[in-house]
Amino acid sequence: MRITWSVSSILLFTLPLACSTVAPEDTEASTGDAEEESTSAQSDSNSVPPTSDGPLTSTSLGDTTDTIDPSTFTDTSPTGGSTEDPNLTTGTTAMSDTTASETTVVPDTDSTATTEESSSSTGDPPATCDDGLQNASETDVDCGGPDCSPCDDGLQCSEPTDCSSGVCTDTLCAVPACDDGAQNQDESDIDCGGASCPQCLDGDSCTDSSDCESGVCDADICLAPTCEDNSFNQDETDVDCGGSACAPCDNGQSCVIPDDCSSLVCEADTCVAPTCSDAVQNQDEEAVDCGGSMCAPCQLDGLIINEVDYDQAGNDTLEFIEIYNNTGGLVSLVGVKVALVNGMNNATYANIDLSGQVALAQGQYLLVANPGVVVPPNVLKVNLNNDTIQNGAPDGIALVDTVGMKLLDAISYEGSMTNATVTGLGMGINLVEGTAFPTADAGNGLQSIARFPNGNDKNNAMTDLVLSKNPTPGLANTK
């Protein structure tokens, strides 16, 4: 009868048979080698990953099945001796070695992959920041924690970085504010700067000068204000001027009080140029509105001819000659006359005596004028017939002290009169002070020849006189 054996069964028989064929003269070595081979075979067998609870199949070891005759096995009992068929022993040993080697090299990878795939398919999916769940390290659904974007106001948080506002209060993200202790909104530093919060103090961070209380942002830091920082700060009234710390402002710049201006004149919150009638001592004035290179002398030695309007349209009915006292005291008018001199022959053609008015006080005006000229209060007047004053080219007017035989003042208009004959003084009188004034009265009644600033007599007609477009008989002169 023939018996069919599987390779796995043959392996169980082959190992003890192989050990029995070792030469007897080296028993210790054979024993050691057998143990080493047995251990190696066992190790190789253990290295094969299990695929199931049953015995190895022909599929895992190969598809070969051998047919063995049981009669070829020799009785190995002690009484029967130990003889073996060399062909069987040799073939079986070779088969055992081949089988062990194949078992070690060819693991059941398909079974392992199937197991891992099965394990993976039964676990939870990986957490993401857009899965609609609060998972992983998120503090609310898909936000917060180190991996996801910050949460919006009202969502849960555990620390400020979990919130887009940077404010976590009582585990909830709070609306940003200018007193929340966090740099949020468009703040340039904590709770300051930007469009919503107060300006930052010196030393705080900034992105623009408007972020700083000082108005100075340099290298992204707010700096202390100075009078040279090109910014409108401190108590300045304009950029780098005015106020208590900086120099006064120039004309045209903003001001609050006169001291904010270099001119010391602040009108309608604007610094204006100084004048000789602004009631302020400025420019190079020696006193208020007088002296220096720009204004009239602070005090004159005698009376002066201050303004003349000698020509109007049609008949001259608004002629006037204005006399002004700026001597610093009361001046007697006894013996004082106004002489009108004809430029055609250099002779006096009219004398107007002022003696009847007795005296002229400091700062007071006297008018020699046509009846139609309106006289302001406290102004003295001596009447003059209409169309009395000649219209020049040239003509002249002299103010004479006939008692002291002295020329007090003179004006030559529409040309130069340097050789006039003046009653009480004689011939060869020069009526031009310095350089003659060249401009003539246009004859429309809206002009006059006037000393400007008012009372300005520095003995140079070219600079002392102006053609005023606003005649002011009995009042301070204007342009």
Q: What six digits make up the tokens of 269?
A: 């919150």
Range of the domain at 332: 304-468
C-alpha–C-alpha distance, residues 64 and 95, integer Å: 11
pLDDT at residue 446 in the model:
86
Residue (of 267, 265, 266) closest to 275 by Cα position: 265
∠ at Cα 355 (353, 357), nearest 5°? 115
Q: Which of 32-41, 272-281, 294-303 has the lowest mean pLDDT?
A: 32-41
Say what percent of the chain tops pLDDT 70.
Answer: 74
Choice between 57 and 231, residue whose per-residue pLDDT is larger: 231
Evaluated on CA atoms 276, 282, 285, 290, the torsion sign reads: positive
Q: Quick one: tokens of 239?
A: 């950029």
Report the chain's terminal Cα–Cα distance, integer Å.
Answer: 154
The neighbouring-strand residues paired with 307 are 322, 450
Q: Return the number of other C-beta atoms located less than 10 Å from residue 376's C-beta.
A: 11
Task: Please say if the pLDDT value at position 93 is more than 70.
Answer: no
Interatomic CA distance for residues 421 and 414, integer angstroms = 18
pLDDT over 90, % of the chain: 65
**Is residue 378 domain-resident?**
yes
Residue 239: the pLDDT is 96
Query: Is the per-residue pLDDT at 95 higher than 90?
Result: no
Going by C-alpha positions, the residue among 219, 212, 253, 218 that lies closest to residue 236 is: 253
Among candidate residues 353, 449, 456, 339, the one with its CA nearest the CA of residue 398? 339
pLDDT at 122: 54
In a domain, 416, yes or no: yes
Express each pLDDT in 147-182 by its tens digit: 999 999 999 999 999 999 889 989 999 999 999 999
Does 425 have pLDDT greater than 70?
yes
Single pTM value for the model: 0.53
Longest CA–CA span in the chain (Å) reads 191
- Whether a cis peptide bond, with omega within 30° of 0, leads into 24 is no
Decide: 306 and 476 in contact? Cβ < 8 Å.
no
Question: Is it the case that residue 92 has pLDDT exceeding 80?
Answer: no
**Average pLDDT for the chain:** 81
Confidence band for 77, pLDDT divided at 50, 70 and 90 = very low
Q: Please give the average per-residue pLDDT across 51-69, as a whole number.
A: 42
Pair 440, 449: CB distance under 8 Å:
no
CATH of the domain at 455: 2.60.40.1260
Q: Which residues of 71-92 are buried (b: 16+ CB within 10 A; e: fewer)?
A: eeeeeeeeeeeeebeeebbeeb
Identify whether 18 is part of a domain: yes
Residue 36 lies in a domain: yes
Q: Which tens digits make up the pLDDT trace of 188-215?
A: 999 999 999 999 999 999 999 999 988 8
In this prediction, residues 441-453 reach a mean pLDDT of: 87
Distance CA 454, CA 89 (A): 150
Of 106, 128, 144, at which residue does a domain stop?
106
Number of residues assigned to the chain: 479
The span from the CA of 211 to the CA of 178, in Å, is 13
Q: Per-residue pLDDT tens for 322-366?
A: 999 999 999 999 999 999 999 999 999 999 999 999 999 999 999
Q: What percent of the chain is helix, strand and coil (3-state, nearest 5)?
A: 20, 20, 60
Of the listed ranges 245-249, 376-380, 424-428, the least confidently predicted one is 424-428
Tell me if 369 is assigned to some domain: yes
Is residue 478 a part of any domain in this protein? no
Higher-confidence position of 66 and 293? 293
Cis peptide preceding 394, ω within 30 of 0: yes
Distance from C-alpha of 372 to C-alpha of 370, rounded to nearest angstrom? 5
Decide which of 166 and 373 is more confident.
373
What dihedral angle (degrees, nearest 10) is formed by the CA atoms of 348, 349, 355, 356?
180
Look at residue 282 in the predicted model and tell me its pLDDT: 94
Q: Where are the beta strands (DSSP E) in 197-346?
A: 217-218, 221-222, 266-267, 270-271, 304-309, 320-324, 331-332, 336-342
Under 8 Å between Cβ of 389 and 297: no
What does R_g of the chain's alpha carbons equal in angstroms? Answer: 63
Residue 210 carries which DSSP code? G
- Per-residue pLDDT, 7: 42
| CA neighbor of 177 nearest in space, from 202, 201, 194, 158 | 194
In this structure, is residue 456 part of a structural domain? yes
90: helix, strand or coil: helix
Residue 373 inside a domain? The answer is: yes
pLDDT band at 392 (very low <50, low <70, confident <90, very high): confident
Token pair 């477009």 is found at 469
Domain count, the chain: 2
Condensed to tens digits (0 to 9), the pLDDT of residues 289-319 reads 889 998 989 999 999 999 999 999 889 999 9
